[in-house]
């Protein structure tokens, strides 16, 4: 993908719907459903048919308690999926923290590297991105959550001394500075506040979305990935039932995610990363219509 096309991808007229394709055994939402290569390819085609304008392909779960897959397995799954889906006409994003996997995917035609560690787990990823025509999503990262992917989190991994917005912003910008120092051009970078990563509750996630303008003021496009995460379910639980409240169904979480997609789109998100592309596509269409119908200053006068 040439530089002009990449810039058009990074600066869309309306927010992207990034459809999630998990080729994993134990993803928190749909682990094992798309592990078969043909099933994964069909799901990717379905997501595009439902309105996804980017596919985000991952082959390793980052949920708490997940066991890391070996690099060869991750690379094989990713390469197979990219080969099967690169003809769909939408950019392919690769959700990985390994440079070897990122390199293989870029060689096969991927356009975006979505690194949940923001360059912290494999310092070769930023150096690779600096050399290639691709975009790089830098996510806020502290460490694996307790029991997640082979690491045990420090007891302070979810503590934000200056408030979650200020601390996440400062830490994320420090990660971006390191990525820039590795040679990545600013026009390749997209940032992600990392909803759910070292942020277990509603109180640590909702402010990052309501203060999306703070992150946009950095000058970098902002990806929001709230889909089906634990805090989304918590938003829907009946507080009067306390710890006995039933876990909301996936369908209810998808509705809530679509609402968050629309709200974040109105706040200027670059893209929303979702499991149900159709619901968020429709939500973004309504948000765009709302925005177009808002009164201008002249109307107000």
Please, which residues have CB within 8 angstroms of residue 91's CB and are 6 or more apart in sequence? 1, 9, 53, 54, 55, 110, 111, 112
> How much is the pTM?
0.91
Instruction: Give the pLDDT score at 1.
Output: 81
Which pLDDT score is estimated for 223? 98
Q: What is the pLDDT of residue 296?
A: 77
The edge-to-edge listing of strands for the beta sheet with 135-139 is: 189-192, 135-139, 112-115, 92-95, 54-58, 16-22, 271-274, 223-224
Catalytic residues: 229, 273
Report the Cα 285 to chain-centroid distance in Å.
20
What was the pLDDT predicted at 298?
64
Specify burial of residue 59 (Cβ count, 10 A radius: 0-12, 13-18, 19+): buried
CA distances from 246 to 27, 29, 30, 234, 251 (A): 21, 17, 19, 10, 14
Mean pLDDT, the chain, integer? 90
pLDDT of residue 25: 72
CA–CA separation, 254 and 264 (whole Å):
15
Which residues does the chain have with pLDDT short of 50? 146-155
What is the crossing angle of helices 164-181 and 124-131, to 10°?
60
Beta bridge partners of 93: 56, 112
Nearest to 66 by CA among 99, 112, 22: 22
Tell me the per-residue pLDDT of 266-297, one tens digit each, with 9 for 90 and over: 999 999 999 999 999 999 999 999 999 988 76
Domains annotated for the chain, with CATH where assigned, are: 3-300 (3.20.20.20)
Tell me what pLDDT residue 157 has.
79
Quote the CA–CA distance of 243 and 245 in Å, as a whole number. Answer: 6
Residues of the chain with pLDDT > 70, as a percent, come to 87
Distance, CA of 183 to CA of 203 (rounded, Å): 35
């Amino acid at each position: 993908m040439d530089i002009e096309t990449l810039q058009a991808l990074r600066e869309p007229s309306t927010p992207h719907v990034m459809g999630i394709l998990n080729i994993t055994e134990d993803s928190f939402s749909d682990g094992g459903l798309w592990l078969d290569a043909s099933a994964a390819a069909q799901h990717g085609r379905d997501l595009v048919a439902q309105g996804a304008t980017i596919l985000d392909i991952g082959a390793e779960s980052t949920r708490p308690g997940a066991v890391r897959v070996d690099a060869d397995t991750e690379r094989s799954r990713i390469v197979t999926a990219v080969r099967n889906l690169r003809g769909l006409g939408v950019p392919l994003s690769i959700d990985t923290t390994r440079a070897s996997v990122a390199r293989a995917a870029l060689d096969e035609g991927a356009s975006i590297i979505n690194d949940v560690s923001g360059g912290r787990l494999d310092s070769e990823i930023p150096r690779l991105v600096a050399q290639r025509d691709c975009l790089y999503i830098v996510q806020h990262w502290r460490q694996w959550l307790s029991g997640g992917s082979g690491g045990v989190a420090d007891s302070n991994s979810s503590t934000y001394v200056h408030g979650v917005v200020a601390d996440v912003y400062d830490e994320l910008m420090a990660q971006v500075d390191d990525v820039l120092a590795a040679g990545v051009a600013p026009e390749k970078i997209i940032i992600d506040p990392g909803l759910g990563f070292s942020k277990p509750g509603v109180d640590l996630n909702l402010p990052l979305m309501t203060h999306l303008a703070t992150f946009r003021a950095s000058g970098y496009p902002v990806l929001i990935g709230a889909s089906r995460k634990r805090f989304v379910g918590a938003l829907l639980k009946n507080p009067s039932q306390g710890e006995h409240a039933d876990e909301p169904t996936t369908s209810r979480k998808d509705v809530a995610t679509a609402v968050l997609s629309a709200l974040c789109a109105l706040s200027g998100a670059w893209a929303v990363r979702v499991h149900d592309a159709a619901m968020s596509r429709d939500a973004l269409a309504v948000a765009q219509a709302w925005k177009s119908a808002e009164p201008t200053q002249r109307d107000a006068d």
